[in-house]
Amino acid sequence: MSHSAVVDAAELARFRELQQLAYEAAQSVGEGLEPGVTERQAARRIREYLVARGVQDWFHTPFAWFGDRTAFRRFKVPLQFFPTNRRLAEGMPFILDCAPVRDGYVADIGYAGCLGENRVFERLMDDLGAYRQLIVEQVRAGNTLRDIYGAVDALISEQGYDNRHQVYPGRVIAHQVGKVHSRLPTFMVGGFGIRSLQTLFGDLLVERMHHRSPLWADGEISNHPATPGMWAVEPHIGFRGVGVKFEEILVVTTDGDAYWLDDDLPHVRRWSGKVATA
């Protein structure tokens, strides 16, 4: 299949390589988590893993959420998203989220795991797979971002869960990503890289001129089909104090096609394994 791309194949390969590295970091750190480790320690481990492998900057600093914080329980202000001294215990779910920048390329990923057994976590993870399929099908159908957000909400209700991405700033389920172009120094403001923020705000201004937004939510500004380019998509569902999500890049072409940048990711391997053995 030929895709009318906004990003050429060589560039896509660099984005895919960095996304793979970000997932490797999250999976490696996740598999090494032990009872008593704090969210801050887990986030620091992700940072160290990625810096050692050439990451120079961040779209946002690494996050780690343990226990009921995976479902953003009682989150009211942005500061609550930052890692805390919450300690991991047996049976606790966790989410690791990182957004490294290397040589101008950006990845933004979310990885859900659990220390030991947790039946609610396993059920949520199995049901999360339906969102990956739903979102790409809806984008290909040319539906508006606002309508797709509504379709995701409908599936969440059908499954009996809670929408947790509505707690993110701006209620976003996704945001556009591209190469970071900035001459500003590497510097963090409120957990976000200043270079990445400058790029995002530039995109925001350009998109608003076309009555679009690089942020995908359920408001009027998202009442248009997906803009061609790359989107970091993160459906996040919760139930009884357990939250799970994935976050990965969706590529939207100029001719209206859409596909996930990479199928060789931990959550996709989990679901394809379930299908293969079903």
What are 194-232's pLDDT values in tens digits? Answer: 555 555 555 555 445 445 678 899 999 899 999 999 999
Determine the longest span between alpha carbons in the chain, in angstroms.
Answer: 52
Distance, CA of 263 to CA of 231 (rounded, Å): 15
How long is the chain?
Answer: 278
First-to-last alpha carbon distance for the chain, in angstroms, is 29
Per-residue exposure over 216-242, b if at least 16 CB sit within 10 Å of its own CB, e if not = bbbeebbeebbbbbbbbbbbbbbbeeb
Q: Is-above-0.85 flag for pTM?
A: yes
| Least confident interval from 18-22, 95-99, 218-222, 237-241 | 218-222
Walk me through the domains of the chain, giving residue ranges and CATH numbers.
9-277 (3.90.230.10)
pLDDT for residue 49 is more than 60: yes
The pLDDT of residue 178 is 86
| Least confident interval from 9-13, 37-41, 74-78, 100-104 | 74-78
What are 106-163's pLDDT values in tens digits? Answer: 999 999 999 999 999 999 999 999 999 999 999 999 999 999 999 999 999 999 999 9
The beta-strand segments (E) located in 16-161 are 57-66, 93-102, 105-106, 109-114
